[in-house]
Amino acid sequence: MEKTKRNAIRWSTVGALAALAALLVAVRFVNPTEHEFFPCIWRRLGIKCLTCGATRAAYSLMTFDFYSALRYHAVFTVLSPVFAYVLLALAVDLIAVKRIIPLPTKKWWIYLAVLGVILVIFGIVRNFTPYSQWELA
């Protein structure tokens, strides 16, 4: 049963990484600053959700425009090296027999909770402070 569960997790991770890679390729070739990539009802209402600007920030990072990436979504831009590290570790874990790149496996929910709190604070700050005027969106 353990081997079946590990294979299911492995293939789920492969699928998620493939979907993310396809999304990044699409974002790279369709400039989300010129074309609305994902229609968002919150943005049309004038509210910036927690992920508002992340697609434009990802595009800016892929074109090495770090200043614009920070302006579109500062938290995503600052944490993107962490995301890249985790994705690299997962990809290597799929290929290798044993874990080569360590991941924070014990009490991972603490990291997720801290990230959630950071995103909520960021969402409040970007909607209800003068910071919202600084964003290009």
Question: pLDDT for 26-71, tens place per residue?
Answer: 877 888 777 776 677 777 777 777 777 888 888 888 889 999 888 8
pLDDT of res. 130: 66
Residue range 79-134, pLDDT digits in tens: 888 878 877 777 777 777 667 777 666 676 787 788 888 888 888 887 776 655 55
> 53: how many CB neighbours lie within 10 A of its CB?
26
Indicate if the pLDDT at residue 22 is higher than 80.
yes
Indicate if the pLDDT at residue 5 is higher than 60.
yes
pLDDT of res. 52: 79
Inter-helix orientation angle 2-29/54-62, to 10°: 80
Q: 66-89: b or e for each residue (b if 16 or more CB lie within 10 Å)? A: eebbbbbbbbbbeebeeeeeeeeb
- Angle (CA) 3-4-8 rounded to 5° is 115
pLDDT of res. 50: 75
